[in-house]
Amino acid sequence: MIEYKTVKVAGLNIFYRESGNITKPTMILFHGFPSASHMFRNLMPELEDRFHLIAPDYPGFGQSESPDHNKFEYTFDHLSQIMEQFLMELSIDKFYMYVFDYGAPIGFKVAVDHPDWIQGIISQNGNIYKEGLGSKWASRQDFWDDPTEEKRNSYKNAFDPKTIIGQYTFGTRENVVSPDGYMLDISYTHNEGYAQRQLDLIFDYQNNIKSYPIFQKYLRNNQPKLLAVWGKNDPSFIYPGAEAFKKDDKNVEVDLVDSGHFALETHSKVIAQLIKNFF
């Protein structure tokens, strides 16, 4: 059974989902954009017989508190610091981590700072290699190199309903993706201040790419067991990013599933079994 909880971290109410027996190994599930911990709603029941599972919503996402972007720094460094404090507040210092999309830089920043915390990694379309960047990132590089208000506002299309639905459905078979996930994500876009929070993070994403060598060095130095399971039809983080993990970590298994960016929407049972087989 999944329980829905809130804890105070750095003065903010942080929402999280929890399931499984606390005597089992802990797994932290780091969500991506434009989603929140609800993206793990189908995976958690599949894993709770083997793991104690915790899936938080970052500040500004889902059910967690969303301070104004003029008063709170929406950067990936800051979100990762909040997640570190979240883990310390829950007295968690040994865990497997599942990282997806935005969860990859957040999770790997935690791993770099606390390599002794990490028992293993599942990266599901969670990229840390330039090989994994799809074609859309070229236009974002132009925004990062020459930021203007006009360019910033143009990225509001990243959370347009059509874009969000496309993120869920592109690369999947017709009629296999439930509307539940993307309709909830769309509803969150109507929250006060949503656009400015997300635009801040889109601009800051450039610093994640600059941090790729740091994340890769962490892998070389620590050699964690790492399962790279990828929706192979994802246009944002393309599957060569999964294969690239093998360059730095000898303890890697790569599995490609016939899905898109949100592979859990179609392959949660398959991915759960891959996790159980690997760990």
Q: Tell me the pLDDT band of 32, cut-offs 50, 70 and 90.
A: very high
Whether the CB-CB separation of 263 and 125 falls below 8 Å is answered with: yes
Only one residue has tokens 């942080």, namely 14
Task: Assess whether pLDDT exceeds 90 at residue 72.
Answer: yes
The fraction of the chain above a pLDDT of 70, given in percent, is 100
What mean pLDDT is predicted for residues 30-56?
98
Instruction: For 149-185, write each residue's pLDDT tens digit.
Output: 999 999 999 999 999 999 999 999 999 999 999 999 9
Give the domain ranges of the chain.
3-278
Q: Give the CATH superfamily of 3-278.
A: Alpha/Beta hydrolase fold, catalytic domain (3.40.50.1820)
Task: Assess whether pLDDT exceeds 90 at residue 136.
Answer: no
pTM: 0.98
Q: Which of 31, 52, 69, 261 is catalytic?
A: 261
Confidence at residue 151, expressed as pLDDT on a 0 to 100 scale: 94
The overall average pLDDT reported for the chain is 97
Q: Tell me the pLDDT band of 138, cut-offs 50, 70 and 90.
A: confident
Instruction: For 195-238, write each residue's pLDDT tens digit.
Output: 999 999 999 999 999 999 999 999 999 999 999 999 999 999 99
Q: Which has the minimum average pLDDT: 40-54, 86-100, 129-143, 241-255?
A: 129-143
What mean pLDDT is predicted for residues 228-250?
98
Catalytic site residue 69?
A: no
Confidence at residue 248, expressed as pLDDT on a 0 to 100 scale: 98
Task: Assess whether pLDDT exceeds 90 at residue 76.
Answer: yes
